């Protein structure tokens, strides 16, 4: 994806949270001492009374956010995906999801994008963990504009626990500022009758490139941005089952209990076509350039095209 114009989705979060601060004085940021990296410093400067830095204490940040939500505030507890999904997991389950409080968990550095930082910083299990929690909504925007819009949606139109994942590095633009998004509703990028590709997050741009290559080869491709993993847009999957001959899921996440698993559950229940899951194998990440890590796990345009043709073959 080098050389393609774009911005990190964490930048969109920083802009969106400031816009929300101007409109809603009950929006708070609870920062876990990485505001510069997670792009909350502008919010701190403009709304110091709505900003709390708990230090490197993610579990306390989650508990404080639960308290704020219980008082009618809309807190965005902000950290890295590895800490927001794992270090905070018990507090999210017990203090946020169980009482069904309106806490938003905003996490940067999701998936393999920390790259050279290695396995300790690559949150490749986060969506699976969050997806397993009752009352939790799980969102993974694909580019800057969808991230901005979905942060707005999370605050203004969604009530309850929500986990939203951002990238550290720039990702290509797919949408523009006029596109609209609805939490729980997949975004249809193209209609097709041969194969469906379902993806989300930072690697959706690879799927756009794969769709173009498949269409060049005469394959009709239905492409879905499944930005909300939970609740999954089941009707969008059922439509794909009815109208295409196979489904390829692609994710920057372990293939265990992530997007591919969620789609496969619907396909199994409906008796649908074969599914090929592309994502991180059952292994930890490692330190390497981002594109090299994607290649090692088969998250490439060539592999998406290959798996689509295999299902059609």
Q: What is the CATH number of the domain that holds 14?
A: 3.40.50.970
Residue 265 sits at the vertex; the CA angle it makes with 111 and 165, to the nearest 5 degrees, is: 25
The pLDDT assigned to 120 comes to 85
27-76 pLDDT tens trace = 999 999 999 999 999 999 999 999 999 999 999 999 999 999 999 999 99
In a domain, 1, yes or no: no
DSSP secondary structure string, 96-122? IITTT---EEEEESBTTTTGGG-GGG-
Are residue 226 and residue 297 in the same domain, yes or no? Answer: yes
Domain that holds residue 216: 187-307
Give the total number of structural domains in the chain.
Answer: 2
CATH of the domain at 207: 3.40.50.920
Residue with tokens 């994942």: 165
Whether the CA torsion 49, 55, 61, 64 is positive or negative: it is negative
Q: 211 falls in which pLDDT band (50, 70, 90)? A: very high
The answer as to whether 180 is a domain residue is no
Shared domain check, 288 and 206:
yes
How far the first Cα of the chain sits from its last, in Å, is 28
Cis previous bond, 73, omega within 30 = no
Residues 95 and 194 both lie in one domain: no
Between CA 34 and CA 24 the distance in angstroms is 23
Phi and psi for 179 in degrees, rounded to 5?
A: -70, 145
Question: Do residues 202 and 113 both lie within one domain?
Answer: no
Residues 264, 238 share a domain? yes
- With a pLDDT cut of 90, the percent of the chain lying above it is 92
Maximum distance among all Cα pairs of the chain, rounded to whole angstroms: 60
Check whether 2 has a pLDDT greater than 90. Answer: no
| Cα 230 to chain centroid, rounded | 10
pLDDT in tens, 244-296: 999 999 999 999 999 999 999 999 999 989 999 999 999 898 999 999 999 99
- Residues labelled catalytic: 58
Residue 114 lies in a domain: yes
Same domain, 86 and 167: yes
């Amino acid at each position: 994806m080098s050389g393609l114009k774009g911005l990190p989705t964490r930048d969109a979060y920083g802009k969106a949270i400031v816009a929300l601060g101007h409109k809603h004085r009950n929006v708070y940021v609870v920062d876990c001492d990485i505001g510069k990296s997670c792009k909350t410093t502008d919010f701190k400067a403009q709304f110091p009374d709505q900003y709390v830095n708990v230090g490197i204490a993610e579990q306390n940040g989650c508990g404080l956010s639960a308290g704020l939500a219980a008082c009618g505030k809309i807190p965005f507890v902000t950290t890295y995906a590895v800490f927001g999904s794992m270090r905070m997991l018990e507090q999210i389950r017990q203090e946020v999801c169980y009482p069904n409080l309106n806490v938003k968990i905003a996490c940067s550095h999701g998936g393999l994008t920390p790259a050279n930082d290695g396995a300790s910083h690559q949150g490749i299990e986060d969506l699976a963990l969050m997806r397993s929690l009752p009352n939790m909504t799980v969102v993974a925007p694909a580019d800057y504009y969808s991230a901005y819009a979905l942060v707005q949606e999370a605050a203004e139109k969604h009530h309850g626990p929500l986990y939203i994942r951002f990238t550290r590095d720039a990702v290509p633009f797919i949408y523009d500022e006029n596109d609209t998004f609805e939490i729980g509703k997949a975004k249809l990028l193209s209609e097709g009758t041969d194969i469906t590709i379902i993806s989300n997050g930072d690697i959706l741009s690879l799927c756009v490139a794969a769709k173009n290559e498949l269409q060049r080869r005469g394959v009709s491709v239905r492409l879905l941005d499944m930005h909300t993993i939970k609740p999954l847009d089941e009707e969008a999957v059922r439509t794909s089952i009815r109208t295409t001959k196979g489904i390829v899921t692609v994710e920057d996440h372990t293939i265990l209990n992530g997007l591919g698993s969620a789609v496969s559950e619907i396909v199994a229940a409906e008796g649908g076509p074969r599914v090929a899951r592309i994502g991180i194998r059952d292994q930890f990440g490692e330190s390497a350039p981002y594109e090299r890590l994607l290649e090692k796990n088969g998250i490439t345009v060539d592999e998406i095209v290959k798996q689509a043709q295999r299902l059609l073959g």
